[in-house]
């Protein structure tokens, strides 16, 4: 009887878990993980700081109608707008970065699919992988970046009198609650971005993925994406364009609509990128082939072959340049229109103004060789355009029409400004159109002392962008304004005739027009928002540029082996990175055309809007550095052929 052979022990299998998968990715490709983690960390830090400042300004118990309450309201508006822009940037940047990182791992996913892993389990594992990385990165960004940024932002806003000095940051419980909410939101965006790529990868045959892991599913056009992009364009972009084209819309409202339109146009272009980018990519590729026949042709082939990488590099540039151009361009265009209106209207030789805290005399004494024309500063409450709408206070001047016409030409649309006298008034075209007033109509106005008075409209003037919307008789303004003072004094004659007192400034006709710019508070808020969004987007651009070079090691090694020199390889890397950036700049130019050209045309400036040159050029230079330097440092184009092949396993 033969002895039974011993039964071999059952084979042990190592179960692939999300933690093991993430640790393997960190050990094998740390650059990829750092790239995706940086986007999540920066997002949590920026959004968390804005949310903390917003909570601090909202929870402050301040007296109503006080300067502190007004400063807190300004802070809330600034932080709300900044948060909306950062969230828009976060959705696009985290989406493109995490999607690119997931696309670079498709070969690993293909191996797991070939070994029998189901598509559903693969999606769950990738989601957990991304969620862990995003949670750790966002927690680090919120803890190490949000609180210091919030403290720095509070100090800057206090210095600019945009944040009440008596208001502190929220209590620790609310602060950490805000950080937790930001972390969870960042995790949600990251997981969603990864699932969109992995879900498509789960439907692809494993053999196809192993053949070409560059063909990331995110590069393909889908009907759902097209419908989403067209729906966004029809529901959000088109109505705002129609609003900007309405003839009776006030210019200041149009200037405010332009940045809002950019907030919808930029995400719409990002969604429709698979359809918008190919024509631009073809144009950039043609330029590269003309500039450098050999190396440019190789770089052009790289741009065409990997549209997902091209899109991921172009989107941050679109965000930084597009937001900067639209936010600052709207204010610059308004300032240019205002200055042109002042230059055309002003007939006086000089204008005397008072600094904050100083007063101008309502009745200046006689001057030698010159004539002083003061305009009384007052306010008038006009009835709302509808029966149930609330009345609103409006800035007004008190000056007789015959005197005013000697120093200002307000360009009457109807009636005659010189008829402004006792019992009459003149109104700007914007206010008259809103209230539906007609020349000869009697209107009951509430004057500065709260007393009602019925006046007859005798003129409607067109130049109301730089000047008050109402002109009252001088006697009426003096009688109904407590402690009357002059808002401006227009001087006809040599400026040396006016005895300049402390707190007063005198400006020539040309110099006075140049003072009509945006208010310092609005200008600071706009530039702060543009700087934060541009810095965030350029950081994401640098991160994506480095990340995009991680899976090109084998291609660079083969190109070096085929005879490409070191500096030709460097040019190839830079051509490809900067070519993708040029596509982003072209898209941002399209955004500026859509948002700013209607504003410029309606203001009478023609089809060419005005841009903030130094800031726009600075952001463009930052985009070149953010794309070129990380790409060159990551690609190591100056290595020898042996060095390039030695890096293939990295």
pLDDT digits (tens, 9 = 90+) for 127-140: 888 888 889 988 99
Cα four-point dihedral sign 88, 89, 92, 98: negative
85 and 161 share a domain? yes
How confident is the model over 10-17, as a mean pLDDT? 50
* Residue 365 clears pLDDT 80, i.e. is over it: yes
Last residue of a domain, one of 158, 186, 220: 220
- Which among 220, 254, 275 is the end of a domain? 220
81 domain residue, yes or no = yes
Whether residues 492 and 540 share a domain: the answer is no
Q: Which pLDDT band holds residue 426 (cuts at 50, 70, 90)?
A: very high
In this structure, are 452 and 522 located in the same domain?
A: no
| Average pLDDT, rounded, for the chain | 81
One domain for residues 334 and 378: no
**Quick one: average pLDDT of 230-251?**
79
Residues 481 and 527 in one domain: no
Distance in angstroms (rounded) separating the CA atoms of residues 325 and 592: 6
Query: How large is the average pLDDT for residues 426-439?
Result: 89
What's the rounded Cα separation, in Å, for the pair 195 and 508? 63
pLDDT exceeds cutoff 90 at 359: no
Does 250 reside within a domain?
no
| Structure token pair of residue 583 | 């596509």
375 sits in which H/E element: strand 371-382
How buried is 161 (Cβ within 10 angstroms: 0-12 exposed, 13-18 middle, 19+ buried)? middle
Range with the lowest mean pLDDT among 30-39, 393-402, 617-626?
30-39
Q: What integer is the mean pLDDT of 84-91? A: 74
**Residue that wins the pLDDT comparison between 199 and 361:** 361
Q: State the pLDDT at residue 15.
A: 54
CB atoms within 10 A of CB 537: 31
Domain co-membership, 490 together with 547:
no
Question: How high is the pLDDT of residue 237?
Answer: 86
Confidence at residue 398, expressed as pLDDT on a 0 to 100 scale = 93
pLDDT score for 217: 40
Confirm whether 201 is domain-assigned: yes
What is the pLDDT confidence band of residue 522, given thresholds at 50, 70 and 90?
low
* pLDDT higher than threshold 80 for residue 638: no
Domain boundary among 438, 470, 501: 501
Question: CA nearest 532: which of 72, 156, 132?
Answer: 156
- Residue bearing the bigger pLDDT, 443 or 56: 443
Q: Model-level pTM greater than 0.85?
A: no
Residue 443 lies in a domain: yes
Q: Is residue 331 part of a domain?
A: yes
**What is the per-residue pLDDT for 472?**
94
CA distance 318 to 314: 6
451 and 545: one domain?
no
Question: Does residue 199 or residue 117 have the better pLDDT?
Answer: 117
- Please give the sequence-ordered ranges of beta strands (E in DSSP) within 462-538, or none if there are none: 470-472, 486-492, 504-508
Average pLDDT over residues 5-34: 63
Write out 546-587 in H/E/C secondary structure. Answer: HHHCCCCHHHHHHHHHCCCCHHHHHHHHHHHHHHHHHHHHHH
Q: 363 and 277 in one domain?
A: no
User: Does 487 reside within a domain?
Assistant: yes
- At 213 the pLDDT is 45
- pLDDT for the residue 219: 45
Query: What's the average model confidence in pLDDT over 474-485?
Result: 91
Q: How many domains does the chain have?
A: 3
Distance CA 89, CA 304 (A): 25
172 and 35 together in one domain: yes
Strand partners, 424: 456
Q: What is the pLDDT of residue 13?
A: 44
Query: What is the Cα–Cα distance from 297 to 575, expressed in whole angstroms?
Result: 10
- Averaged pLDDT for residues 405-414: 91
How confident is residue 220, by pLDDT bands cut at 50, 70 and 90?
low
Question: Is 586 found in the same domain as 464?
Answer: no
Residues 481 and 525 in one domain: no
Domain containing residue 567? 265-353+518-650
Work out the average pLDDT over 526-553. 80
**185 falls within a domain:** yes
Whether 506 is in a domain gets the answer no
Q: Residue 517: its pLDDT value, please?
A: 63
**Among candidates 280, 324, 296, 262, which has minimal Cα distance to 581?**
280
Rounded to an integer, what distance in angstroms lies between the CA atom of residue 414 and that of residue 258?
Answer: 30
Same structural domain for residues 29 and 158?
A: yes
Per-residue pLDDT at 257: 78
pLDDT one-digit tens code per residue, 266-305: 888 878 888 888 889 999 999 999 988 889 898 898 888 8
Q: Binning pLDDT at 50, 70 and 90, where does residue 316 land?
A: confident
């Amino acid at each position: 009887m033969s002895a039974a052979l011993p039964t071999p022990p059952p084979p042990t299998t190592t179960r692939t878990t999300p933690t093991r998968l993430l640790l393997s990715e960190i050990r094998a490709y740390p650059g990829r993980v750092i790239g995706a983690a940086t986007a999540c960390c920066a997002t949590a830090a920026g959004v968390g700081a804005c949310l903390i400042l917003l909570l601090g300004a909202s929870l402050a118990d301040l007296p109503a109608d006080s300067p502190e309450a007004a400063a807190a309201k300004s802070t809330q508006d600034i932080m709300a707008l900044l948060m909306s822009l950062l969230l828009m940037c976060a959705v696009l940047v985290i989406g493109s970065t995490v999607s690119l990182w997931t696309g670079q791992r498709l070969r690993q996913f293909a191996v797991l699919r070939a070994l029998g892993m189901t598509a559903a389990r693969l999606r769950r594992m990738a989601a957990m992988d991304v969620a862990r990385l995003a949670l750790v990165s966002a927690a680090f960004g919120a803890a190490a970046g949000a609180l210091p940024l919030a403290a720095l932002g509070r100090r800057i806003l206090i210095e600019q009198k945009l944040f009440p000095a008596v208001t502190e940051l929220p209590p620790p419980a609310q602060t950490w609650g805000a950080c937790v909410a930001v972390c969870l939101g960042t995790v949600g965006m990251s997981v969603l971005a990864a699932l969109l790529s992995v879900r498509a990868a789960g439907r692809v045959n494993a053999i196809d993925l192993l053949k070409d892991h560059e063909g990331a599913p995110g590069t393909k056009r889908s009907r759902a994406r097209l419908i989403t992009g067209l729906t966004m364009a029809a529901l959000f972009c088109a109505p705002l364009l129609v609003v900007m084209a309405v003839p009776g819309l006030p210019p200041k409202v149009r200037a405010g609509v332009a940045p809002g339109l950019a907030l919808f146009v930029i995400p719409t272009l990002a969604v429709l990128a698979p359809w918008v980018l190919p024509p631009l990519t073809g144009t950039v590729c043609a330029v590269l082939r003309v500039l450098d026949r050999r190396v440019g042709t190789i770089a052009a082939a790289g741009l065409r072959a990997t549209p997902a990488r091209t899109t991921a590099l172009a989107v941050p540039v679109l965000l930084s340049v597009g937001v900067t151009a639209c936010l600052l361009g709207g204010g610059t265009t308004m300032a240019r229109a205002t200055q042109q209106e002042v230059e055309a209207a002003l007939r006086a030789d000089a204008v005397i103004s008072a600094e904050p805290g100083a007063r101008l005399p309502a009745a200046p004494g006689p001057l030698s060789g010159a004539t002083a024309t003061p305009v009384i500063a007052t306010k008038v409450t006009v009835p709302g355009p509808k029966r149930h709408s609330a009345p609103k206070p409006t800035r007004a001047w008190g000056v007789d029409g015959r005197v005013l016409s000697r120093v200002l030409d307000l360009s009457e649309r109807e009636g005659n400004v010189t008829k402004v006298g006792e019992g009459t008034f003149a109104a700007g075209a914007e206010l008259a159109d809103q209230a539906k007033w007609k020349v000869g109509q009697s209107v009951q106005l509430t004057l500065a002392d709260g007393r009602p008075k019925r006046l007859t409209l005798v003129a409607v003037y067109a130049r109301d962008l730089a000047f008050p919307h109402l002109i009252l008789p001088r006697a009426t303004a003096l009688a109904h304004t407590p402690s009357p003072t002059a808002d401006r004094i227009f001087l006809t004659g040599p400026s040396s005739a006016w005895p300049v007192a402390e707190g007063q400034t005198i400006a020539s006709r040309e110099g006075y027009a140049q003072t009509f710019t945006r208010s310092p508070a609005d200008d600071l808020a706009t530039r702060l928002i543009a700087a934060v969004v541009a810095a965030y987007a350029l950081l994401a651009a640098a991160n994506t540029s480095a990340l995009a070079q991680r899976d090109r090691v084998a291609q660079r090694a083969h190109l070096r082996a085929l005879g490409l020199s070191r500096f030709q390889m460097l040019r190839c890397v830079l051509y490809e990175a900067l070519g993708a950036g040029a596509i982003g700049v072209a898209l941002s130019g399209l955004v500026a055309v859509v948002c700013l050209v209607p504003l410029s045309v309606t203001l009478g400036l023609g089809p060419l809007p005005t841009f903030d040159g130094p800031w726009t050029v600075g952001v463009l230079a930052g985009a070149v550095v953010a794309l070129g330097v990380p790409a060159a440092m990551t690609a190591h184009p100056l290595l020898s052929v042996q060095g390039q092949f030695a890096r293939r396993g990295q």
